[in-house]
Amino acid sequence: MAWRNILLGMVGAALVQDSAVVVFAQTPRFEVTSVKPTAPERQNTLRTDYCQKGGRFAVAGTPVIWSIAYAYRLKDFLIAEAPDWLKRFDSAYDIEGRPAGSVSEMQCRLMVQSLFADRFKMKSHQEVRESQVYLLTIAKGGPKFRQGGEVRLNGGIQINSDGRPTWPDGLTMVALASLLANYTERPVVDRTGLQGTYGITLDFSLRDGDDRVSIFTAVQEQLGLRLEASRALVEMLVIDRIERPDAN
């Protein structure tokens, strides 16, 4: 079993780069919280305000699992044992948390974790499990990008809530793998072996009827990389307990 322990350690080390858990002496909490089921007539009106500019956390009409994914800095497909109601739009909640003052992104995420523990009675743990993944590898002919530079997706530069570019100096391959997972609905594991940060330009289809190529074709043709279906060990958030909250 020694090889498995070594592999688990490698997986944990890789994941720490993107989803590290920070422990504070006292878990921060919102000063005021409100949790109410989304009214049926507003279930198609979505709102997500994740403490923009240090302000309040407010979501409406979105599946609860989206807020859990934000709180733990995970993709929702990396959350295991989630009851079905967490994933449904017809079980959405309007959730609001007001901090006492301006908060950072990390403080906001921790406050949302506390909100779920207090209001939803949520208990969870992290666990490494085998899962279907895509491996990000180098395609025949090699990479088609250079170190440093802008990151452009479908013609645009992603901007943070403070108005600054999200990736001003390029992406590491680990960060690119995490980004691609948003569009593949599976974890993406970097197996390129490339170090450093790179300027990336990628254009791909976002929906049916879009005449651009798929994310898989774009990655190979535009970046000189490949997404290969496989299985691997990934760290997941396992929900041990969660309850529907009382509204207030």
Of the candidate ranges 17-26, 28-37, 60-69, 239-248, the one whose mean pLDDT is the lowest:
17-26
Q: State the CB neighbour count (10 A cutoff) for residue 150.
A: 13
- The predicted structure's pLDDT at residue 207: 84
Burial class for 111, CB neighbours closer than 10 Å (0-12, 13-18, 19+): buried
CA 48 to chain centre: 14
Confidence of residue 8 (pLDDT cuts 50, 70, 90): very low
- The predicted structure's pLDDT at residue 159: 66
With beta carbons less than 8 A apart as the criterion, state whether 136 and 144 touch: no
Of the candidate ranges 41-45, 80-84, 187-191, the one whose mean pLDDT is the lowest:
41-45
Confidence of residue 162 (pLDDT cuts 50, 70, 90): low
- The predicted structure's pLDDT at residue 169: 85
Confidence of residue 128 (pLDDT cuts 50, 70, 90): very high
The residue extents of the domains of the chain are 2-128, 129-233
Query: What's the rounded Cα separation, in Å, for the pair 200 and 190?
Result: 15
Q: Is the pLDDT of residue 89 over 90?
A: yes
Of the candidate ranges 7-16, 45-54, 131-140, the one whose mean pLDDT is the lowest:
7-16
- The predicted structure's pLDDT at residue 17: 37
- The predicted structure's pLDDT at residue 4: 43
Q: State the CB neighbour count (10 A cutoff) for residue 109.
A: 19
- The predicted structure's pLDDT at residue 225: 98
Confidence of residue 15 (pLDDT cuts 50, 70, 90): very low
